[in-house]
Structure 1
Amino acid sequence: MSSITLKAVEKWYGAVQVIKGVDLEIEEGEFVIFVGPSGCGKSTLLRMIAGLEETSRGQIMIGQRDATAEPPSKRGLAMVFQSYALYPHMSVRDNVGFPLKSAGLPKAEIDAKVEEAAQVLKLGEYLDRRPKDLSGGQRQRVAIGRSIVRDPTAFLFDEPLSNLDAALRVEMRYEIAKLHQTLKSTMIYVTHDQVEAMTLADRIVVLEFGKIAQVGTPRELYERPANLFVAQFIGSPRMNVVPFGTVKLDKAPSGVVSAGMRPEHIDVVESGGGHLQGTVDVLEYLGADTYLILSCGDAGQVTVRVNGTTELVPGDTVGLQVQDGMFHFFNGNGLAISD
């Protein structure tokens, strides 16, 4: 295991800059997730750490070593991709042990490491099967096992769950979380799915157009977003943001241009009361919860999370009361203002 430090890292493709001066310290044993919309540079940044993309400017430190110019094979990192990239003609045992065989390790040592990885990943009963006989989740565990046997400095995951269906994604999130607890290894994980980021990460790095918008724990990003981009990217459904003048408030910090409120922090009250007035347009029933989507005049569309047993119907007019201390305020540049 080792820490990984990025110092003023940039990536240029000709005249186009895609990574714009990223500074980041990842501690030894930490689980850090890069998250952001498509095209924000998260996979490029991961590939730069891996050595699969050249670093145009800046430094990448692995521990105390400057690894900026090192080839991937010298960095001691293991990467798990979206595609499992397994050898179809080989058994699970041979797929997992292949990196060690290529390195010329003795068969007894390879067998021991494969058995150890299989035990961690619950693959013991599948070692003699071929990839075509496995589910998507099992194939991804084999790909992870192939990385584990190398005993890497850190694990790099590039959207490893994107090819799985919803049920398998939940299962594999659990498996990866348990793997981190067991191995206590440094892990860097890329995803566009903020639910994966919130449930897995020690810290989340939110990227926007090649820059870091905010770094923090999932709770810090959820409760104290630094700007509008993070506020609306983290959380599902996304935070409601309305022009400040459309909200009935006695007092607010100076310089406020827009007000944010999360759907779960809004209570439905009688029409005429609350901070906003709205008419129910659509109800999205999800069992335990229902999402109300309301038209709120000049404030626009607002989403409210309520109990699944609500008796409201489209056309009902209600008041919306934001819970105490749950407003988020932003200035004209989209930066958060403390209340």
Structure 2
Amino acid sequence: MGAISLQSVEKWFGEVQVIKGIDLEIGDGEFVVFVGPSGCGKSTLLRMIGGLEEISRGALLIDGDDRTADPPSKRGLTMVFQSYALYPHMSVRDNMGFSLKTAGAPKAEIEAKVNHAAEVLKLEPYLDRRPKALSGGQRQRVAIGRSIVRDPTAFLFDEPLSNLDAALRVEMRYEIAKLHKALGRTMIYVTHDQVEAMTLADRIVVLEFGVIAQVGTPRELYENPANLFVAEFIGSPKMNILDVGSAGLRLAPHPGAAKVGIRPEHMHVGAQGEGMLDGTVDVMEYLGADTYLIVDAGSLGQVTVRTDGDTAIREGDRIGLIAPEERLRFFGANGKAV
């Protein structure tokens, strides 16, 4: 069991409040990702769950039991950090089994659990190597294996892939997704990389300056952001946000709306005078299957459009941009979705 409940959780450093009353229910076996800009409190919140930071106010429940005052060792959780923190003089086998050895576990139990973790993570050929003989991705797998052998209630990941290059990040993302399916354990994962968040999470928690901006599935957050912050943070490139009522914006009236948002892939190129606005193609970013058009829309600012990689459009072309009504998202003057 690995259900985790945060009830009105706050964190204060002196007179500075960094976590401002978080309420969150994480189901047993769920993969939840905390995402947000630097300084939003995502790592602090994770460390509070793990017991590495004290909870100033509020309560932490694990499987219904209040664990707010428990030290990390009593919570049944395990953390995987950005740095691998492996013992360089020990083999992979000894690194993975070290916590069990210090806890006085029988040798046969340690061996069985290390072998199981190595099998899950495809580390069997490397058990007798030392960390310096491993790649970055292999070292991170060893760090995860060290957590698996402890048989935790839940895994806490604090930006575990940040030190890896782009190719290894993709590979390890796949490995962590497979690990979650294989183990079925609760996982809480902190990242600033929204691709990791979108591809790994059952639900994403978007944090903004110590509060939850929105919680939902990746699709819910992408298609129906609750406010402007989520709309602009989730998605790459981000959602285009335009002022309703601006000169040059051809749009049917929408009561209470101050801003309108449209994703780059939902805008289609037409002839000048067609659709919701006109502009000049300022820059083209060719990415193979796709091309991003950066369109100068005058007083409306820049608009990004995602189109085919083999588009016939060229820089300097005057175009109209068409957007289906059902793809538009409206926001009030307070930034909340209308």
Unaligned segments of structure 1, at least 5 residues: none
1:129-208 superposed matches below 5 A: 129-208=129-208
Cα distance in 2 between the residues matched to 1:64 and 1:245: 51
Alignment deviations for residues 15-65 of structure 1 (CA, whole Å, 9 cap, x no partner)? 100000000000000000000000000000000000000000000001111
The alignment of Structure 1 onto Structure 2 pairs a total of residues equal to 336
Q: Do structure 1's residue 61 and structure 2's residue 69 form an aligned pair?
A: no
Q: Which residue of 2 aligns with 1:306?
A: 307
Q: Which runs of 4+ in 1 moved over 4 A?
A: none
Question: SS of 2:321's equivalent?
Answer: strand
Equivalent pairs: percent with the same residue? 73
Deviation at 1:108, TM superposition (A): 1.0
Q: Do structure 1's residue 321 and structure 2's residue 322 form an aligned pair?
A: yes
Alignment deviations for residues 181-231 of structure 1 (CA, whole Å, 9 cap, x no partner)? 000000000000111000000000000000000000001001110000000
Unaligned segments of structure 2, at least 5 residues: none
Cα distance in 1 between the residues matched to 2:303 and 2:64: 50
Alignment deviations for residues 98-120 of structure 1 (CA, whole Å, 9 cap, x no partner)? 11101111111111110000000
Normalising to structure 1: TM-score of the pair? 0.98
Cα distance in 2 between the residues matched to 1:220 and 1:193: 18
Deviation at 1:324, TM superposition (A): 3.7
Normalising to structure 2: TM-score of the pair? 0.98
Cα distance in 1 between the residues matched to 2:263 and 2:7: 35
Question: SS of 1:87's equivalent?
Answer: coil
Q: Which residue of 1 aligns with 2:114?
A: 114
Cα distance in 2 between the residues matched to 1:323 and 1:195: 26
Q: Which residue of 2 aligns with 1:296?
A: 297
Q: Letter of the 2:334 partner, please give it.
A: N
Question: SS of 1:204's equivalent?
Answer: strand
Deviation at 1:295, TM superposition (A): 0.6
Cα distance in 1 between the residues matched to 2:337 and 2:252: 19
Q: Which residue of 2 aligns with 1:275?
A: 276
Cα distance in 2 between the residues matched to 1:29 and 1:273: 49
Q: Which residue of 1 aligns with 2:20?
A: 20
Q: Which residue of 2 aligns with 1:250?
A: 252
Deviation at 1:323, TM superposition (A): 2.3
Cα distance in 1 between the residues matched to 2:309 and 2:206: 32
Q: Which residue of 2 aligns with 1:123?
A: 123
Tell me how large the CA RMSD over aligned residues is: 0.7
Deviation at 1:313, TM superposition (A): 1.6
Alignment deviations for residues 130-172 of structure 1 (CA, whole Å, 9 cap, x no partner)? 1001111100000000000000010000000000000000000
Alignment deviations for residues 64-88 of structure 1 (CA, whole Å, 9 cap, x no partner)? 1111111011101000000000000
Q: Letter of the 1:284 partner, please give it.
A: E
Question: SS of 2:288's equivalent?
Answer: coil
Q: Which residue of 1 aligns with 2:103?
A: 103
Deviation at 1:314, TM superposition (A): 1.4
